[in-house]
Amino acid sequence: MFKRLILLCLALVLVGVLLTQSVFASPKYTTKWEKSNAPVNLPILMYHSVENKPGNGLCVPPEQLEQQLKYLHEQGYYTVTPAEAYKILVQNKVPKKHKKLVMVTFDDGYENNYTAAYPLLKKYHIHATIGLITSKIDTQGMLTLKQIKEMKKSKWVSFVSHTQNHQELDRLDEAGQREEMQASRTWLKQNLHQKPDLLVYPVGRYNEVSPKVAKESGYKLALTTQPGLANAEQGKYELHRQRVVPDMTQEAFAKLLQP
């Protein structure tokens, strides 16, 4: 009888540990959402390459990225997925138990997003969204399909469209823009078996027809490089982002998150 009691207690402890791990180790834990009483401003952080490359404004050193992700984790920020960004910016809903929200994005799909950023995302429980240039996958210095699938399976990373060839859309006619957007979307569907809902404009360049083409191509949201917090007033296809630059102080980084 005594042995059975001990075994039962051990089993209950083990179940408790497993439940705790499943809740806090997985980015897909259940979150209840509620309507916000006021319009929501969402900081969407913009990164590119993660490497030490002095003089290149698109390259953030790994040490800096770690400090910033650690800050988000310690300050209790909830890092949203593309689907959750739609809830926040279009449906004006927010997580019931999370008041600090942020979206972390990486443009282009550099290989160091896997070798340098991915381990940090897992370490600090940060969800990130990577905009892929689909024609560049499996090429020198860029992510491989194998790496992409591994990150997607982990649930810590979402993948969205950064077009097929990273051409500046404002230099293309409507047909050219449509080809860039739809070819990328087709690749994501075929290779990652997902419904691509978010588009990241290459170099932040777009014109008056781009939102129309994005909508007709099946995208629900599009991100620009215009500075500031994203909100519903900007429209679903002209959402602003906050650029993270090399050697940014922690104080300056914190300001990117503030209204």
Model pLDDT for residues 201-211, shown as the tens digit of each residue: 999 999 999 99
The pLDDT assigned to 259 comes to 84
Q: Which residues contact 210 (CB under 8 A, 6 or more apart)?
A: 169, 170, 177, 201, 222, 237
Q: What is the mean pLDDT of residues 76-101?
A: 96
The string of pLDDT tens digits covering residues 38-50 is 999 999 999 999 9
The pLDDT assigned to 30 comes to 55
* pLDDT band (50, 70, 90) for residue 247: very high
Give domain 45-256's CATH superfamily. Glycoside hydrolase/deacetylase (3.20.20.370)
The average confidence (pLDDT) of the chain is 91
**Residue 255 reports pLDDT greater than 60:** yes
* CA–CA gap between residue 251 and residue 241 (Å, rounded): 18
* CA–CA gap between residue 12 and residue 15 (Å, rounded): 5
The domain limits of the chain are 45-256
Residue 183, CA distances (Å) to 8, 40, 142, 174 in order:
56, 32, 19, 14
Nearest to 113 by CA among 71, 159, 79: 159
Q: What's the whole-model pTM score?
A: 0.88
* pLDDT band (50, 70, 90) for residue 187: very high
The pLDDT assigned to 18 comes to 39
Question: Is 196:188 a contact under the CB 8 Å cutoff?
Answer: yes
CA atoms within 13 A on the CB side of 238: 10
Residue 191: both structure tokens together: 């290779």
**Residue 97 reports pLDDT greater than 60:** yes
The pLDDT assigned to 20 comes to 36
* CA–CA gap between residue 98 and residue 40 (Å, rounded): 13
Question: Is 131:113 a contact under the CB 8 Å cutoff?
Answer: no
Q: What is the mean pLDDT of residues 110-124?
A: 99
**Residue 3 reports pLDDT greater than 70:** no
Q: What is the mean pLDDT of residues 113-139?
A: 99
CB atoms within 10 A of CB 153: 9
Residue 97, CA distances (Å) to 31, 45, 47, 89, 214 in order:
8, 22, 27, 18, 33
* pLDDT band (50, 70, 90) for residue 216: very high
